[in-house]
Amino acid sequence: MKIKTGDMVKVISGHYKGTTGEVKAVSPKTNKIIVEGVNLVKKSLKPTQANPEGGISEHEAPIDASNVVFYDTKAKSAVKLGSKVNEKGKKVRINKKTGKEIKEAKK
């Protein structure tokens, strides 16, 4: 999976098509990701001692990683990612259009 936590992605299919957001969590085993502000679901909460009124909470649900593409904020466009080994012998992600190295997002 080429998408990492902290990356900016653009949704390319589904109800939230065209929306960009930051990746909050990645699950490579299930090929799902959670994107900030995308695939919002509402959940009813029963009243508890901590929350006596109960209510409705809204949070992001996972979407499949194949429905998003990496979004380059400098170029302001969606790009494909590749990989190569840099001078230090470390495998890094690159932008396939420009060939420039993608900086790791801060977690």
Residue 99 counted as domain residue: no
Residue 22 counted as domain residue: yes
Q: What pairs with residue 25 in β-bridges? A: 34
E strand map for 12-74:
20-27, 32-35, 40-45, 55-60, 63-64, 68-72
Quote the number of domains for the chain: 1
Cα–Cα distance measured from residue 38 to residue 50, given in angstroms and rounded to the nearest whole number: 28
- Domain containing residue 74: 8-79
Residue 100 counted as domain residue: no
Residue 68 counted as domain residue: yes
Q: Is the pLDDT at 106 greater than 70, yes or no?
A: no
Of the pLDDT bands very low, low, confident and very high (cuts 50, 70, 90), residue 1 is confident
Residue 90 counted as domain residue: no
Using alpha carbons only, give the angle 85, 87, 90 rounded to the nearest 5 degrees: 45
Cα–Cα distance measured from residue 17 to residue 20, given in angstroms and rounded to the nearest whole number: 9
Q: What is the CATH number of the domain that holds 48?
A: 2.30.30.30
Residue 97 counted as domain residue: no
Task: Taking residues 29-51, report their average pLDDT.
Answer: 95
Per-residue pLDDT tens for 44-101?
999 999 989 999 999 999 999 999 999 988 888 999 999 999 889 899 999 998 888 8
